[in-house]
Amino acid sequence: MAAPADSGCWFPALALGVSFLKCLFINAYHSTDFEVHRNWLAITHSLPVSRWYYENTSDWTLDYPPLFAWFEFGLSHVAQHFDRNMLQVENLNYASPSTVLFQRLSVIFTDVVFIYAVRECCRCVQVRKGSRDVLSRPSFVLAVLLLWNFGLLILDHIHFQYNGFLFGFLLLSVAKHLQSQHLQGALLFAILFNLKHIYLYVAPAYGIYLLRSYCFTQDNKDGSVRWTSFSPLRLLALGGIVVSVCALSFGPFVAMGQLPQVLSRLFPFKRGLCHAYWAPNVWALYNVLDKGLAVLGVRLKLLEEAELPRASMTGGLVQEFQHSVLPSVSPSVTLVCTLLSILPAVVSIWWRPRGARGFLRCLLLCALGSFMFGWHVHEKAILIAILPLSILAVESREDAGIFLVLTTTGHYSLFPLIFTPAELPIKVSLMLMFTIFSFTALRKLHSGQRSLLRPVEVAYLLGLVAVAIACEVVFPLSPWQQRLPFLPLLATSVYCSVGVSYSFLRLYGSLLRCEDKPKQL
Amino acid sequence: MFGDYEAQRHWQEVTYNLPLQEWYFNTTDNDLNYWGLDYPPLTAYHSWICAYIAKIINPDWVELHKSRGYESPTHKLFMRTTVLVADLLVYIPAVVLYCLYLTDGSSKKKVSTLLCFLLYPGLILIDYGHFQYNGVSLGFALWGILALGLGWDVSGSMAFSLALNYKQMELYHALPFFCYLLGKCIKVGLMGRGLFLLVRIAATVLATFALCWLPFLSDPSQALQVVRRIFPVARGLFEDKVANTWCSLNTLIKIRSILSGDSQLYLSLACTLLAVLPSSFRLLTKPTFWHFKLALANSSLAFFLFSYQVHEKSILLAALPACLLLNDLPLVAIWFLQASTFSMLPLFLKDGLLVPYAVTSLAFLFLSIYLLSALDHCSEDELRLGAYNKLFFCLPRMDLARIVRWKFYISVAVMAGLSIVSVALVPPPHLPDLFPVMLSMAAFLHFFGTFVYFHVVQFSGPPSRKSQKKNN
């Protein structure tokens, strides 16, 4: 039999295989994010700490929290052995072969955090009895879905970012909570949001879960909170961990009195409601509705065309703009909408905590809710929902169905990020491989009478294929290419927002309907 | 990149714009010195089809004379897509069917074999990196082998004729096909069914050739010119550094300067015949599929090692039979396939393919050894090395499995070391070709060793009862 003799060997083989694949992308297209990180290497290496958040020679100013700046500082010490010139702040858009090699290798190497986190998550997944075949074990399927995740591969290793490193912390923190090691989980999360503050979106889930299930050590028989079992020691421990990590990260800047400047860099609200390419969320649908009504209004002579603001929502620059028919949306409105959308989830884990898996579901809903209603959301943020959902998908049948819809839609919405002709075969074949694997593996894992997907979902996904062919193949060869260049982006955003909204509602349904026994900690 | 990429693009230009009669002739419109057509007609027809599609997408790509040296990202994508489409239509289905129907073992073993077969770095790098259409000719040959394995001799001979008409280098495989089919006819009985089969095969082959050459048969000078283009005998014994006997011998004795052009030709002809005849004769007497696979490997290796004007890419013709043996002799097959990729390293370096070479070689080695458990199946019986013990009966009995494993590790270390040294170090000024020469000598030793090994296996007696079911 050619099956591997050692049953534990498949994980290193998977990790090594995907690392080899990542090496092949070293010379592929990279986006402006490459220059962003090169600039940050230069800033942290060449300038004193006091100048880090004031430096603006380049447009790509430092807008991640200080712990990430320290991380870049550490990397820059290795970078100097590859090519010293990349560390000059004035060398804008410097991309020598050694620079490219170093940056790409740094992403591949820091992915070791992600690989370790995936290993921990695989250990948390329930082992199915009687499955001796490696390929049909939940842990194997989870490992492939996470390690070979299409979105992560093209975002990190083609588009260029450090998402693997960051998601490693998130998944490791989730794994620690699943293993009931809450202090470690809290520590990892504190480190995470000091590396990239976008993860503050899921902080409510952490906060309420830890407060309710960790600080209150016991529950009443019916599952409600027993106020007397509050443990101030645990609360103090958690608070201490978070505060000390933040102090480590922000401390030097608070000492220099630079906190307002740092915060203004971290939270730039001058940018518009939507990114240049609309993330597939509620505001994309809102924009389209607005545009549609405007066009309709002009056609029906209800509005004057001259009165409409010259909106350039679909232009390449991120400026503020006004809606023409529907009321304009401000940052505070989006904040309120986001909070309202995650409120039921958060209340639900306070009211009837369902253990660590309920927390995971709440985390997903916080991530998706903030994706749906947030201000200036990047389409890349869909990964914050897709990766943790993989853990639930290999365990529960309903979650597997939601996962298939959300993942396929979310991954397809990343297509416009990689627009060069040479990368077209790569993204199409990787997407096909991942999608086919996820469908067949999950179907085999949850074999039963009914199929995983409902007919309307199957129809939607087939429609996605049609949209893909239209946007990637038909449109560039058609005459509308010159007149309406944004049309494929628009179509992709709108079609995907339908899918993402649907998954959001279904996830909510599964959280609110789930009637597990409350667990003790 | 003015290499094979431009050659293929130029052939599309020539075949689309010029009438068929001028394709192989030196005319004012068709300068044969600038990448003239030197493959048989099927390649020309394939180029014509690609040119037709290219013209629809962007006529600038195949504009006569004006499109010389044309390079753009979309054109590059188009050309690479033509290779992929050709592979998807011809090579990959053949590999899949071969692995599913003609390898034995559980379905997981078959899929593992399939993955390793497709992952062979040499073909991927040459076809997609250097740019060629080897997948088509190797695919047709594989269809022929597949058909012969399933017992469909007539279809198999037709497929192989197509392969021959695509690239004349497939002649390396021609002798085993001929001997196997002839041997089979003789075994069935030369009076009666055997003769009938022979006649049918011959008729199929002739018909296929006639069909492919039909447009050129109207005028005998046409056909002769094509033959002249595809078999140029004006070149020397070898060109550049290639891992065969003559190049390696040349480092010790300067053959090229000692012997005249004609005697070089006769010497290589004689040595090739000597090398090829034993295995072909064995196949003639024992026409089984197992012997056929081994004879393919032996014949192509013999031609590679001893023939006239061999290019380093011709090792792909020996790699195909080695891939067929992945299931039966995993360790040696993987070893040889890695050595063949390694032998083409100077070519890859010239094309800037160092990273893909390193990654695909490492991935191939790790994954194939892991999936096929090659290092576990090293016993004397599994390696069919019983004959070695008979030959060296005077020497003390040694643990053959451990020796073979250590030889493998050392060999891989040597190949890795030479690869790194070729890239990282600068050769001394009085020996500018030091690294390519060392590389080709190392590869030559590997190829010669494999050549001897496959001969031993083909000539050793029937295997033990355990692996009896492997033969058919």
- What are the pLDDT digits (tens) for A258-291? 888 888 888 876 666 677 678 888 888 888 888 8
- Residue A219's SS3 state is strand
Do B313 and B344 form a contact (C-beta atoms < 8 A)? yes
On chain B, the residues whose CB falls within 8 A of the CB of A20 are: 359, 362-363
- Whether A422 sits inside 8 A of B362 (CB atoms) is no
- Residue A272's SS3 state is coil
Inter-CA distances, B274 with A225, B281, B434, Å:
91, 11, 31
On chain A, the residues whose CB falls within 8 A of the CB of B73 are: 420-422
Share of chain B above pLDDT 90, in %: 43
On chain B, the residues whose CB falls within 8 A of the CB of A3 are: 108
> Looking at per-residue confidence, does A127 or A166 come out higher?
A166
Compute φ and ψ for B415, nearest 5 degrees.
-65, -45
CA distance A487 to chain B (A): 21
B121 vs B399: CA distance, rounded Å: 32
Output the six-digit token pair for A207: 């906060």
Helix (H) or strand (E) segment spanning residue B50: helix B41-57
Output the six-digit token pair for A164: 């693997």
Owner of token pair 């959300």:
A406
Question: Taking an 8 Å Cβ-Cβ cutoff, which residues of chain B contact chain A?
Answer: 73-74, 76-77, 80-81, 84, 105-106, 108-109, 112, 355-356, 358-359, 362-363, 366-367, 370-373, 376
Type of residue numbered A55: E
Confidence of residue A308 (pLDDT cuts 50, 70, 90): low
Output the six-digit token pair for A408: 């396929």
Q: Which residues contact A121 (CB under 8 A, 6 or more apart)?
A: A142, A146, A171, A174, A175, A178, A391
Q: Any chain B CB within 8 A of the CB of A105?
A: no
Lowest mean pLDDT among A208-212, A477-481, B11-15: A477-481
Type of residue numbered A450: R
- Whether B355 sits inside 8 A of A23 (CB atoms) is yes
- Assign 3-class secondary structure to A363-402: HHHHHHHHHHHCCCECHHHHHHHHHHHHHHHCCCHHHHHH
Inter-CA distances, A68 with A146, B52, B307, Å:
23, 54, 61
Confidence of residue B469 (pLDDT cuts 50, 70, 90): very low
Inter-CA distances, B158 with A140, A268, B154, B350, B374, Å:
45, 70, 6, 37, 35
Owner of token pair 């058609």:
A478
Interface test with A, best of B74, B87, B103, B108 (most A CBs within 10 A): B108
Interface test with B, best of A6, A16, A104 (most B CBs within 10 A): A16
On chain A, the residues whose CB falls within 8 A of the CB of B108 are: 1-3
CA A47 to chain CA centroid, Å, is 31
Task: Report the candidate in B120, B377, B98 with the shortest Cα–Cα distance to residue A2.
Answer: B377
B317 vs B145: CA distance, rounded Å: 13
B315 vs B341: CA distance, rounded Å: 9
- Residue A51's SS3 state is helix
pLDDT in tens, A408-425: 999 999 998 888 888 888
B256 vs B254: CA distance, rounded Å: 6
Nearest to B370 among A13, A23, A425 (CB): A13
B305 vs A45: CA distance, rounded Å: 56
Q: Any chain B CB within 8 A of the CB of A16?
A: yes
Do A179 and A124 form a contact (C-beta atoms < 8 A)? yes
Confidence of residue A328 (pLDDT cuts 50, 70, 90): confident
On chain A, the residues whose CB falls within 8 A of the CB of B81 are: 425
B194 vs B202: CA distance, rounded Å: 12
Q: Any chain B CB within 8 A of the CB of A23?
A: yes
pLDDT of A245 above 70: yes
pLDDT of B273 above 80: yes
Query: How large is the average pLDDT for residues B312-320?
Result: 93
Q: Quote the ipTM score.
A: 0.81
pLDDT in tens, A40-88: 999 999 999 888 888 888 888 888 999 999 999 999 999 989 888 888 8
**A&B contacts, CB < 8 Å:** 49
On chain A, the residues whose CB falls within 8 A of the CB of B356 are: 24
A113 vs A126: CA distance, rounded Å: 22
Other Cβ atoms within 10 Å of B236 Cβ, number: 12
> Mean pLDDT over all residues of chain B?
86
Helices (H), A1-96: 10-24, 32-46, 66-79
Confidence of residue B194 (pLDDT cuts 50, 70, 90): confident
Query: How large is the average pLDDT for residues A182-198?
Result: 93
pLDDT of B205 above 90: yes
Compute φ and ψ for A230, nearest 5 degrees.
-65, 135
Share of chain B above pLDDT 70, in %: 91
Inter-CA distances, A82 with A54, A87, A103, Å:
27, 10, 10
> Looking at per-residue confidence, does A302 or A357 come out higher?
A357
Share of chain A above pLDDT 90, in %: 44
Beta bridge partners of A225: A219
Beta bridge partners of A230: A216
CA B282 to chain CA centroid, Å, is 22
Compute φ and ψ for B310, nearest 5 degrees.
-95, 135
CA distance A465 to chain B (A): 20
N- to C-terminal Cα separation, chain B = 48
pLDDT in tens, B64-107: 888 788 888 888 889 999 999 999 999 999 999 999 999 888 88
Beta bridge partners of B310: B238
Query: How large is the average pLDDT for residues A17-32?
Result: 90
> Looking at per-residue confidence, does B110 or A477 come out higher?
B110
- Whether B355 sits inside 8 A of A27 (CB atoms) is yes
A204 vs B71: CA distance, rounded Å: 54
Beta bridge partners of A219: A225
CA atoms within 13 Å, Cβ hemisphere of A414: 24
- Whether A1 sits inside 8 A of B81 (CB atoms) is no
Compute φ and ψ for B289, nearest 5 degrees.
-65, -35
Helix axes B41-57, B153-166, angle to 10 degrees: 70
> Mean pLDDT over all residues of chain A?
86
- Whether B109 sits inside 8 A of A1 (CB atoms) is yes
Inter-CA distances, A347 with A21, A207, A361, Å:
43, 12, 13
On chain B, the residues whose CB falls within 8 A of the CB of A4 are: 370-371, 373
CA distance A412 to chain B (A): 21
- Whether B372 sits inside 8 A of A421 (CB atoms) is no
A425 vs B76: CA distance, rounded Å: 12
A477 vs A487: CA distance, rounded Å: 13
Do B47 and B12 form a contact (C-beta atoms < 8 A)? yes
Q: What is the pLDDT of residue A7?
A: 57
Name the residue in chain A with its Cα closest to that of B76.
Answer: A422
Interface test with A, best of B77, B348, B357 (most A CBs within 10 A): B77
Nearest to B108 among A3, A5, A26 (CB): A3
Residue by residue, DSSP assigns A439-499 as HHHHHHHT-SSS-SS-HHHHHHHHHHHHHHHIIIIIGGGSTHHHH-TTHHHHHHHHHHHHH
Residue by residue, DSSP assigns B84-142 as HHHIIIIIHHHHHHHHHHSS-S-HHHHHHHHHHHHT-HHHHIIIIIII--HHHHHHHHH
Q: What is the pLDDT of residue A212?
A: 86
The model carries a pTM of 0.86
pLDDT of A112 above 70: yes
B339 vs B343: CA distance, rounded Å: 6
Do A194 and A247 form a contact (C-beta atoms < 8 A)? no
On chain A, the residues whose CB falls within 8 A of the CB of B376 are: 5
Confidence of residue B235 (pLDDT cuts 50, 70, 90): low
